[in-house]
Structure 1
């Protein structure tokens, strides 16, 4: 096994929940809703997934509970930002703070203060032959069943956002000019709310992947900013599916390098590696890496006159 293999394996492990959440956030932003509560959706999804797995003894039912947890937060986000026209940034930050408090308190009540290590979790499934591909094989084809499901969900969502699909065109229409979209007969509020809920389902699934496939436990604030990093990945990817996926994977590798390089004897300070994803976002929005334009209707509330 080369020194590159463990870096790629841990990098893809970091990247997979981030990738799924970033693709979900891309849907919301393309529809015009800046969904900063992705962090809350992931954290709640991780908590409810761990709790569901403990109570039922089934990791699959735990994963389903994780999706439900994400949808619970997504419902609040959609109600406040789409229906009540509340400030999207304030709403997202408030939901993140609330989710952190509720999950921390819930872990102390039902999950042995967040120190449980025996929750039912998913086992690794190695794809025959493909798993033996040097370096990339163990990283891509040694996932859990939930991990493979996350990859399929991310790929399907990216395809949904393609401009060649009717759904993708409708999402872009309400995100670029909600008034014009409304005049053509599109249900702007319902489409935006549906996109927020889809983001919530994917983020809840990402939280379940983190709790039941990677960490195999729940701890306080275990997402540790992954949701915010998903928003950064969308910006760095210039609101395009392929580039967003690439940004999420690179960010995952950067996170893995924080732990791998010191083990390999490199003298690079971990703080420098921690800054890489955010520096990439600064470069992306500054125009140094080419023109970048967010959807015209992003953060702009819509109310029919």
Structure 2
């Protein structure tokens, strides 16, 4: 493998890991609060469609990004209402919302764009931190990415700081570990959980917009193709810690990048095997083969006062 191909592989891995990291960091907040948000896939898909449709209608990718985020907030609020207020099964409601969004976005896409197989969408432009794009070999391939990636890294850094160093982070941990004790100490457990699910909605919407208007500049039916489920698996793989979740997202991104890299190197590997590789790694993570896992004690358990 030449040095140039290594640079291309590294840049592709980071680009493919970016939507995973955005969605996984939001899901981590939700799970830390005790809510297993299985509707991340649907939130991403709705954000991707609304962002693409907004950018197409207004001609502005920035307005499309804002529309994509706003469109997901009602879905996140519905997920929170079902999971927290009605205390419905979090896995069933999440998967149900995913199916609902898949059908709704498919119908809306066909109504809006007709039978066109591909619609060009105004996309977010690339950007590189000053000086880094001029680095030899890696500079152009690794650091020249859509600026949404760098915004996402800033938001992930803020989430990491808030979870570790703020009273909100400690309260969130208490809500997901010992909600009854947290409630008796005066913490608003339900409000904390609602807020955590809304954070997941915003980060998942950004992840969906990254796919449609930040990366490929178009929308296709069901374009997330299980990325939301990979984000949930990354949280489990990361043992509910943000640093390890980041590493898991990079691993899944690299596994996806191999789909394009190995054929270019002339390595004869069945394409179906390459496509399934990220999901195989995710299955191994969920099965506990990535090490001992310690989930929040009250994860997916509805809280009764």
TM-score of the pair, normalised by structure 2: 0.93
Distance 1:168 1:211, change over 3 A: same
Identify the residue that residue 32 of structure 2 maps to in structure 1: 30
Greater mean alpha carbon deviation, residues 259-268 or residues 202-211: 259-268
Greater mean alpha carbon deviation, residues 148-157 or residues 177-186: 148-157
Cα distance in 1 between the residues matched to 2:289 and 2:212: 37
Q: Decide whether the 8 Å contact of 1:53 with 1:62 is kept in 2.
A: yes
Cα distance in 2 between the residues matched to 1:232 and 1:5: 27
Cα distance in 2 between the residues matched to 1:135 and 1:82: 50
Identify the residue that residue 157 of structure 2 maps to in structure 1: 155
SS at match of 2:240: coil
Distance 1:237 1:276, change over 3 A: farther
Cα distance in 1 between the residues matched to 2:74 and 2:115: 23
SS at match of 2:48: helix
| Pair 1:226 & 2:227 matched | yes
Cα distance in 1 between the residues matched to 2:139 and 2:296: 37
Cα distance in 2 between the residues matched to 1:147 and 1:298: 29
Pairs within 5 Å for 1:170-209: 170-209=171-210
Identify the residue that residue 56 of structure 2 maps to in structure 1: 54
Distance 1:235 1:53, change over 3 A: same
Q: Decide whether the 8 Å contact of 2:7 with 2:142 is kept in 1.
A: no
TM-score of the pair, normalised by structure 1: 0.93
Cα distance in 2 between the residues matched to 1:265 and 1:93: 39
Distance 1:166 1:136, change over 3 A: farther
Pairs within 5 Å for 1:65-76: 65-76=67-78
Distance 1:180 1:113, change over 3 A: farther
Q: Decide whether the 8 Å contact of 1:12 with 1:249 is kept in 2.
A: yes
Distance 1:139 1:298, change over 3 A: farther
Cα distance in 1 between the residues matched to 2:75 and 2:97: 7
Q: Decide whether the 8 Å contact of 2:233 with 2:286 is kept in 1.
A: no
CA RMSD of superposed structures (Å) = 1.8
Deviation at residue 275 of structure 1 after TM alignment: 4.3
Deviation at residue 294 of structure 1 after TM alignment: 0.5
Deviation at residue 281 of structure 1 after TM alignment: 4.1
Pairs within 5 Å for 1:75-86: 75-86=77-88
Identify the residue that residue 7 of structure 2 maps to in structure 1: 5
Unaligned runs of 5+ in 2: none
Deviation at residue 165 of structure 1 after TM alignment: 2.2
Cα distance in 1 between the residues matched to 2:41 and 2:158: 22
Identify the residue that residue 127 of structure 1 maps to in structure 2: 129
Q: Decide whether the 8 Å contact of 1:23 with 1:157 is kept in 2.
A: yes
| Pair 1:18 & 2:56 matched | no
